[in-house]
């Protein structure tokens, strides 16, 4: 049973550039969430996608956008990169609906460094 996968593992960009991160959910999962984790901090919720639509959004600027594809995989796009965007970006997936489906499983993350 494949878990959540993310690519790339590491990424280095310069200020002002744009970046795309990718996530494939755990088998059987249809809902994907993205989190930003600064060094030494807890993850912060960016947004959640279900049925190819953004369903929930955290307190992040419009420079952060996403997409979900029919196969449930997802992309996180960040435009006009700032130094402060340097972080570990985590993808989590779950099954839609309530009950035990509310448990989210995480991928290994993408480490983004903005120079």
Partner 1 sequence: AQTVTQSQPEMSVQEAETVTLSCTYDTSESDYYLFWYKQPPSRQMILVIRQEAYKQQNATENRFSVNFQKAAKSFSLKISDSQLGDAAMYFCAYVSTYAGGTSYGKLTFGQGTILTVHP
Nearer to partner 1, 19 or 93 (CB): 93
Least distance from partner 1 to the Cβ atom of residue 94, Å? 7
Nearer to partner 1, 15 or 55 (CB): 55
Return residues touching partner 1 (CB under 8 A): 31, 33, 35, 40-45, 48, 55-56, 58, 88, 90, 92, 94, 98-100, 102-109, 111
Q: How do strand 110-114 and strand 87-94 relate by DSSP bridges?
A: antiparallel
Nearer to partner 1, 42 or 70 (CB): 42
Q: Tally the C-alpha atoms within 13 A of residue 17's C-alpha that lie toward its C-beta.
A: 13
Q: Tally the C-alpha atoms within 13 A of residue 77's C-alpha that lie toward its C-beta.
A: 9
Q: What is the DSSP string of 7-18?
A: E-SEEEE-TT--
Least distance from partner 1 to the Cβ atom of residue 42, Å? 3
Least distance from partner 1 to the Cβ atom of residue 16, Å? 27
Q: How far apart, in whole angstroms, are the C-alpha atoms of residue 72 and residue 50?
A: 8
């Amino acid at each position: 049973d494949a878990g959540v996968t993310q690519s790339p593992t590491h990424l280095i960009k310069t200020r002002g550039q744009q970046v795309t991160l990718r996530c494939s959910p755990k088998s059987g999962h249809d809902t994907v969430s993205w989190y930003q984790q600064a060094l030494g901090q807890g993850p912060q919720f960016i947004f959640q996608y279900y049925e190819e639509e953004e369903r929930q959004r955290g307190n992040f600027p419009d420079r952060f956008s996403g997409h979900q594809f029919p196969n449930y995989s997802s992309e996180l796009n960040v435009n006009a990169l700032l130094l402060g965007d340097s972080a570990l970006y985590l993808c989590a997936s779950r099954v839609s609906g309530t009950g035990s489906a509310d448990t989210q499983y995480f991928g290994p993350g993408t480490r983004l460094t903005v120079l």
